[in-house]
Amino acid sequence: MTGFAVRLAALMARRGMGVRALARQVPCNHALISRYLNGHQAVSPGMAARLDGLLGAGGELVALACPAQAGQVPVRRSLLWIWPGW
């Protein structure tokens, strides 16, 4: 498991939230969340930001998923997340 997957699982457990419940809030397919948790798929910066916000991680998930963008705040434009410098 990656650091992102471990922290995602811990945040979900702390909130008593399962894979399907989190997927409904994102919204996305529950299989995608499962792939993140099992380390079978890399998380995008936008999805990391979405999960971070939903779980109240304070930027920790974004930093774990995208170390190059740590400390930068994404700007939401429509349905896209735009990272400074991209």
Helix (H) or strand (E) run with residue 75 in it: strand 75-77
Residue 86's pLDDT is what?
A: 52
How would you classify residue 37: left for phi > 0, otherwise alpha for psi between -120 and 50, otherwise beta? alpha
Mean pLDDT, rounded, for 26-42: 95
Does the domain at 3-82 match CATH 1.10.260.40? Answer given as yes
Going from N- to C-terminal start, the domains of the chain cover 3-82
pLDDT at 3 exceeding the cut of 60: yes
% residues pLDDT > 70 (the chain): 77
Q: CA 39 to CA 3: how far, in whole Å? A: 9
What is the value of pTM for the model shown?
Answer: 0.77
